């Protein structure tokens, strides 16, 4: 069974190709995500749960109570994502260094795509327009719709504020968002250039404008997963996982 890390990198490669990006092209999270998907990137000073709630209350007349995070304890955040009716709000801390904000937008954008946008699109594809009111929170699903969704392994969640309570589920969601963000920002083929040459984490961080700690972890994970395979074998393996 293909592992989630490789599956996520396949998805990142596919998305970059759909966006018409070449492997060496630097991914601008704000410009790319806002132009390709229904999202907005916003920097809030001293980002925290309370600041998000206040920002929403000042700008949105009618917003679902679930997205106002009423049940969440106030705490500082580096990033967050809110999703509603297929639209996402990607948030970063304005006080973080710009290179950290870039990664935050890519990471939160990955959450939006993986946990809201793509599942929503799949539900509409499988169940048709009749399911849109359910996804929009306008009515609960019928028993038949729940059964159809279960049989098709399709989610009917209509919103996501991405503060999961389950520790294990949260860890996997965070890891997968990291992998997709890294794959979008730095395609694996630019790192793995055969057994004799591999781009260093410092080069990756400098060229693709991502935090050095993230670059080190990404390069290390790729090296561990793929050694001693060269880049051609890597791409063949990733291409075989085409059922995402």
pLDDT in tens, 169-198: 678 889 999 999 999 999 988 887 655 467
pLDDT at 66 (0 to 100): 58
For residue 43, the cross-strand partners are: 92
- Reading the block at residue 85, the tokens are 């009716």
Where the chain has pLDDT below 50, the residues are: 1, 158-162, 164-165, 196, 229, 241-244
The length of the chain is 244
What span, in angstroms and rounded, lies between the C-alpha atoms of 223 and 192? 8
Per-residue pLDDT tens for 104-126?
A: 999 999 999 998 899 889 888 88
Domain ranges of the chain: 4-239
List CB contacts of 136: < 8 A, sequence separation 6 or more.
85, 158
Looking at residue 47, its pLDDT comes to 93
What pLDDT does residue 98 have? 95
* Residue 131, pLDDT score: 85
User: Tokens for 29?
Assistant: 């999270």
Contacts of 70 (CB under 8 A, 6+ apart): 53
pLDDT of residue 82: 87
Is the CB of residue 111 less than 8 Å from the CB of residue 184? no
Q: pTM of whole model > 0.85?
A: no
Torsions phi, psi for 187 (to 5 deg): -60, 140
Distance CA(219)–CA(239), nearest Å, equals 20
């Amino acid at each position: 069974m293909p592992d989630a890390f490789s599956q996520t990198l396949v998805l990142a490669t596919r998305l970059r190709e759909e966006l018409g990006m070449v492997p060496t092209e630097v991914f601008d999270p704000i410009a790319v995500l806002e132009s390709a998907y229904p999202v907005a990137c916003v920097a809030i000073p001293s980002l925290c749960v309370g600041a998000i709630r206040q920002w929403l209350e000042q700008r949105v007349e009618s917003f679902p109570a679930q997205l106002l995070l009423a049940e969440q304890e106030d705490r500082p955040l580096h990033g967050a994502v809110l999703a509603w009716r297929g639209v996402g709000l990607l948030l970063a801390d304005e006080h973080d260094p710009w290179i950290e904000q870039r990664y935050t937008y890519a990471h939160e954008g990955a959450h939006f795509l993986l946990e809201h946008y793509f599942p929503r699109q799949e539900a509409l594809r499988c169940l048709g327009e009749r399911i849109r009111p359910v996804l929009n929170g306008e009515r609960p699903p019928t028993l038949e719709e729940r059964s159809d969704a279960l049989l098709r392994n399709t989610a009917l969640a209509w919103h996501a504020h991405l503060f999961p309570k389950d520790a294990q589920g949260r860890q996997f969601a965070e890891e997968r968002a990291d992998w997709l963000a890294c794959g979008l920002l730095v395609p694996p083929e630019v790192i793995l250039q055969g057994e004799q040459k591999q781009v260093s984490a410092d080069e990756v961080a400098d060229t693709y404008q991502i935090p050095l700690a993230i670059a080190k972890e990404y390069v290390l994970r790729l090296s561990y997963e793929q050694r001693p395979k060269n880049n051609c074998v890597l791409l063949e393996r990733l291409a075989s996982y085409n059922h995402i």
